[in-house]
Amino acid sequence: MTDRIDQKLAELGLTLPTAAAPVATYVPAVEAGGLLHVSGQLPFRDGKVVTGQLGTDVDVAAGQDAAKLCALMVVAQAKAALGGDLSRVARIVKLGVFVNSAAGFGDQPEVANGASDLMVALFDDKGKHARAAVGVAALPRNAAVEVDAIIAVTN
Amino acid sequence: MTDRIDQKLAELGLTLPTAAAPVATYVPAVEAGGLLHVSGQLPFRDGKVVTGQLGTDVDVAAGQDAAKLCALMVVAQAKAALGGDLSRVARIVKLGVFVNSAAGFGDQPEVANGASDLMVALFDDKGKHARAAVGVAALPRNAAVEVDAIIAVTN
Amino acid sequence: MTDRIDQKLAELGLTLPTAAAPVATYVPAVEAGGLLHVSGQLPFRDGKVVTGQLGTDVDVAAGQDAAKLCALMVVAQAKAALGGDLSRVARIVKLGVFVNSAAGFGDQPEVANGASDLMVALFDDKGKHARAAVGVAALPRNAAVEVDAIIAVTN
């Protein structure tokens, strides 16, 4: 499956980013009870965080792209946590999508689709996940989006 | 137990809504490792989202009602995901309650009780859950409340 | 391990607070499938909630301290839920850190470290967790920080 994911990434013109080191004293992912909990990931492009607020200085298309970058980093972190073997991914169970939002901005679902669509594109049926998308007042480093994940894994 | 839940709903003068289709490219619920993760649900009344912000144009009583409507939709989604059989619900494990809040509004617990009370009314001891209630800057479709859930299920 | 945790707390000059009663109709923690889900905890000092907003009237150091107080309460709730026996803690799996934030405040990771550092100080490698830290518009009782947790436990 790793080969398949690599192939799909290539077809989409994407490459996994280097798994980012945590900003602080925690770890990128923890596996317990068959579930891999992946820490909240920020959107990195060329090593810099994509910043800004939806509803003011970031539009929905740019927000979707930021969400996609977060999801790519989630996959990169999962791959690193699983020893490079994404074939252990049994199911993307849940994405938490936190969108840096002005009061009254209500298109979090469209923004979050940037992350959701990537998961389905990469993992097909195994990529179909539950999701919560909410608008938050602020994010680390003024990031536009943050995404965390729960992934079911096989032994 | 489905019969019991249906009976309790009737006693409360409630009916489960039609399980709403996701606003986007994800699924309403995913089961893995004995836990059903239910996507964030919005409050629907007569097919329309209950909108507004606590601390400005929505009061606590209306917020509680919105939270209850979210919880009803969580139950509807769980029922659909479990093939109509709520007897597989072993425990409502966790509710995440996101309240559309003005800065300084601090009654999220009271608002969230609208969801929590319903779970206990429907599932008794199995309905007693852990919870996180927070105030968010914005929600999809300007909803007043969003609720997601983790539910332990039997095979 | 309880003795070890008690000893570490003493070395750090800390004592576990009395496990706070929920503000509302839910329970402090639920165990299912080997995972203990702990409800969102507020920062209590001398029985009062530490209040305020990061980016306006609370600085990062005070925010870190609030996060640490939340984490202490998480440990107190886990201990109570586990019948007083913290030796059943196999791993701190995930912390959700919600920071009461002004728009544009981006130091949630530094604030959240107050909670994360405590977990590692108390539980060593078992304390190394995944984490999501976000900035929210408002919190219950105008708390500065709220922390929830998922903890893997042994039987």
**Which of C71, C99, C129 lies closest to A25 in space, CA to CA?**
C129
Average pLDDT, chain A: 94
Query: Cα angle at B68 between B62 and B70, to 5 degrees?
Result: 105
Contact assessment for residue B151 and residue B35, using Cβ atoms and an 8 Å cutoff = yes
For the sheet with B29-32, list strands across it: B29-32, B35-41, B145-153, B89-100, B130-136
Low-confidence winner among A48-52, B14-18, C20-24 (lowest mean pLDDT): C20-24
Is B22's pLDDT higher than 80?
Answer: no
B108 in contact with chain A, both atoms CB, cutoff 8 A: no
Residue C92 in tokens = 């701190």
Contact assessment for residue C94 and residue C129, using Cβ atoms and an 8 Å cutoff = yes
Counting beta carbons within 10 angstroms of the beta carbon of residue A147, is it exposed (0 to 12), middle (13 to 18) or buried (19 or more)?
buried
Report pLDDT for C9.
Answer: 87
Residue B43 in tokens = 């409050």
Cα–Cα distance measured from residue A34 to residue C93, given in angstroms and rounded to the nearest whole number: 12
Is A1's pLDDT higher than 60?
Answer: no
Strands (E), C34-137: 35-41, 44-45, 48-49, 89-100, 130-136
C13 versus A135: the higher-pLDDT residue is A135
Q: Which residues in C lie closer than 8 A to residue B105 (C-beta atoms)?
A: 138
Cα–Cα distance measured from residue A140 to residue B119, given in angstroms and rounded to the nearest whole number: 34
Is A155's pLDDT higher than 80?
Answer: yes
- Comparing alpha-carbon positions, the chain A residue that sits nearest to C108 is A140
Q: Residues near B23 by Cβ (< 8 Å), separated by ≥ 6? A: A109, B140, B141
Strands (E), C18-121: 29-32, 35-41, 44-45, 48-49, 89-100
C121 in contact with chain A, both atoms CB, cutoff 8 A: no
CB contact under 8 A, C40 and B102: no
Residue A127 one-letter amino acid: G
Q: How far apart are the first and last CA of chain C?
A: 15
- pLDDT tens figures, B99-120: 999 999 999 999 999 999 999 9
Longest dimension (CA), chain B: 45
Q: Helix (H, G, I), strand (E, B), or coil: what is residue A138?
A: strand
CA B78 to chain centre: 10
- pLDDT tens figures, C51-77: 999 999 999 999 999 999 999 999 999
Strand pairing class (B29-32; A145-153) = unpaired
- Chains touching A (at least 3 CB pairs under 8 A) are B, C
Strand partners, B37: B30, B150
Is C24's pLDDT higher than 70?
Answer: no
- Tell the CATH superfamily of the C2-20+29-153 domain: RutC-like (3.30.1330.40)
Q: Helix (H, G, I), strand (E, B), or coil: what is residue C97?
A: strand
Nearest to A131 among B35, B39, B137 (CB): B39
Task: Domain ranges for chain B, please list them.
Answer: 2-20+34-153
Q: Name the architecture of domain A2-14+33-153.
A: 2-Layer Sandwich (3.30)
A140 in contact with chain C, both atoms CB, cutoff 8 A: yes
Is A146's pLDDT higher than 90?
Answer: yes
- pLDDT tens figures, B47-95: 999 999 999 999 999 999 999 999 999 999 999 999 999 999 999 999 9
Cα–Cα distance measured from residue C150 to residue B24, given in angstroms and rounded to the nearest whole number: 28
A12 versus A53: the higher-pLDDT residue is A53
- Confidence bin at A14 (pLDDT 50/70/90): confident
Average pLDDT over residues C107-125: 96
Average pLDDT over residues A113-139: 96
Cα–Cα distance measured from residue B71 to residue B131, given in angstroms and rounded to the nearest whole number: 13
Report pLDDT for A24.
Answer: 66
Report pLDDT for A16.
Answer: 87
Low-confidence winner among B32-36, C17-21, C104-108, C149-153 (lowest mean pLDDT): C17-21
B27 in contact with chain A, both atoms CB, cutoff 8 A: yes
C66 versus B10: the higher-pLDDT residue is C66
Average pLDDT over residues A21-25: 73
Average pLDDT over residues A56-69: 97
A21 in contact with chain C, both atoms CB, cutoff 8 A: no
- Half-sphere exposure in the Cβ direction for C48 (13 Å, CA): 4
Report pLDDT for C128.
Answer: 96
- Report helix, strand and coil shares of chain A as percent, to nearest 5: 35, 30, 30
ipTM of the complex: 0.94
**Which of A97, C61, C51 lies closest to B105 in space, CA to CA?**
C51
Report pLDDT for C1.
Answer: 52
Q: Name the architecture of domain B2-20+34-153.
A: 2-Layer Sandwich (3.30)
**Which of A95, A33, A81 lies closest to B35 in space, CA to CA?**
A33
Strand pairing class (C29-32; B48-49) = unpaired
- In eight-state DSSP terms, residue B155 is -
Low-confidence winner among A92-101, B5-14, B76-85 (lowest mean pLDDT): B5-14
Report pLDDT for B5.
Answer: 84
CB contact under 8 A, B90 and C32: yes
- Confidence bin at B135 (pLDDT 50/70/90): very high
Q: How far apart are the first and last CA of chain A?
A: 15
Alpha helices in A1-107 (DSSP H): 2-11, 60-81
**For the CA atoms of chain A, what is the radius of gyration?**
15
Counting beta carbons within 10 angstroms of the beta carbon of residue A80, is it exposed (0 to 12), middle (13 to 18) or buried (19 or more)?
middle
- pLDDT tens figures, B26-46: 999 999 999 999 999 999 999
Query: Cα angle at C118 between A20 and C90, to 5 degrees?
Result: 80
Nearest to C132 among A96, A103, A141 (CB): A96
- Confidence bin at C22 (pLDDT 50/70/90): confident
